[in-house]
Amino acid sequence: MAIETQLKTKDFTKLNLDFQENLYIFSDKIKEQIKPYTDYNLIDFKDIFANTNPVNVEIGIGNGEFLVHYASKFPEENFLGFEVVKRVIRKAISRAQKRELNNIKLIHYDGSFFVRLFPPESVKTFFINFPDPWPKKKHHKRRLMKTSFLRLLSEKMQTDGTLYIATDHENYAKEIMTNLITVDALRSCFESVYVNELVDYYPTKYYRKFALNKGVYFFKLKKV
Ligand SMILES: C[S@@+](CC[C@H](N)C(=O)[O-])C[C@H]1O[C@@H](n2cnc3c(N)ncnc32)[C@H](O)[C@@H]1O
């Protein structure tokens, strides 16, 4: 094959998500499957959870408290969590192991990579609790809640699905508010774009430690 054709032709590969103890997968098992010029088949949640129950996704699970809480509360639904720091996801893994839940899966990898691979309109809820604010201006471009990513989340959400975002960072909250303006499919569930308290929501470790006394910007958006 001519080099030019090779460069233009993408392979499609099915990622093998072989969850250890039916619960977690570490990034080395994913990285070894990532190749240049390759795209990946969309993920079939039925392959992951062995059922067709609604799927809820948290990006940046930290110690996993939040996801484990909801997975225990809603055994008829599935919960998929992403966390990039191994030391941190290990805490989430042991927390989930203790509860012996079979409706939760934890992936040690960048959640934004995986969201691209979700089928359209497949996710009931996205939770993004205290995404890293990257406070220095020169680092703002690293923030997760860009317009393109918010739009991608909305495309992956079922109609009437919900996106929750909590931050304690005023500048980030303002950026999220601005970025949401052009994402037509997402409508605030509040009269304002955000509220300054968590409404019917589990207070995460970050919230209790850093945001409780400082204040919070809480977004709850429906896919219309
Ligand atoms: C400020 S902490 C909040 C942790 C937790 N959500 C809480 O509220 O206690 C943000 C977490 O998101 C993780 N994180 C950041 N970007 C991520 C990404 N793209 N995919 C998965 N995890 C991510 C970080 O490693 C960190 O543990």
Per-chain mean pLDDT for the chain: 95
145 lines ligand 1 (CB under 6 A): no
The pLDDT value recorded for residue 49 is 98
How far is the centre of ligand 1, averaged over its atoms, from the C-alpha of 83 (Å)? 6
Within a domain: residue 68?
yes
| Residue of minimum CA distance from atom 13 in ligand 1 | 60
How far is the centre of ligand 1, averaged over its atoms, from the C-alpha of 44 (Å)? 24
Expressed as residue numbers, the domain containing 27 is 23-31+41-223
The pLDDT value recorded for residue 2 is 58
84 lines ligand 1 (CB under 6 A): yes
| Digit-coded pLDDT (tens) for 112-123 | 999 999 999 999
CB 179 within 8 A of CB 146: yes
How far is the centre of ligand 1, averaged over its atoms, from the C-alpha of 131 (Å)? 6
Within a domain: residue 16?
no
112 lines ligand 1 (CB under 6 A): yes
Among residues 68, 175, 86, 70, which one has the least CA distance to residue 125?
Answer: 70
Within a domain: residue 137?
yes
E-assigned strand segments in the chain = 11-13, 24-25, 38-40, 55-59, 78-82, 104-107, 123-129, 157-167, 186-188, 217-223
| Digit-coded pLDDT (tens) for 26-45 | 999 999 999 888 899 999 99
Among residues 23, 92, 181, which one has the least CA distance to residue 219?
Answer: 181
| Digit-coded pLDDT (tens) for 42-97 | 999 999 999 999 999 999 999 999 999 999 999 999 999 999 999 999 999 999 99
The pLDDT value recorded for residue 4 is 55
42 lines ligand 1 (CB under 6 A): no
26: left (phi over 0), alpha (psi -120 to 50) or beta: beta
Between the alpha carbon of residue 92 and those of residues 61, 62, 124, the distances in Å are: 8, 7, 22
Point out which residues pair with 189 in neighbouring strands: none
Within a domain: residue 50?
yes
Examine the residue annotation and report whether 132 is marked as an active-site residue of this protein: yes
167 lines ligand 1 (CB under 6 A): no
Within a domain: residue 2?
no
At 100, is the secondary structure helix, strand, or coil? coil
Within a domain: residue 15?
no
Q: Specify the pTM.
A: 0.95
212 lines ligand 1 (CB under 6 A): no
Domain count, the chain: 1
Within a domain: residue 196?
yes
| Residue of minimum CA distance from atom 15 in ligand 1 | 60
Instruction: Specify the ligand 1 atom closest to the Cα of 85.
Output: 25
Within a domain: residue 4?
no
Question: Domain holding 57: CATH number?
Answer: 3.40.50.150
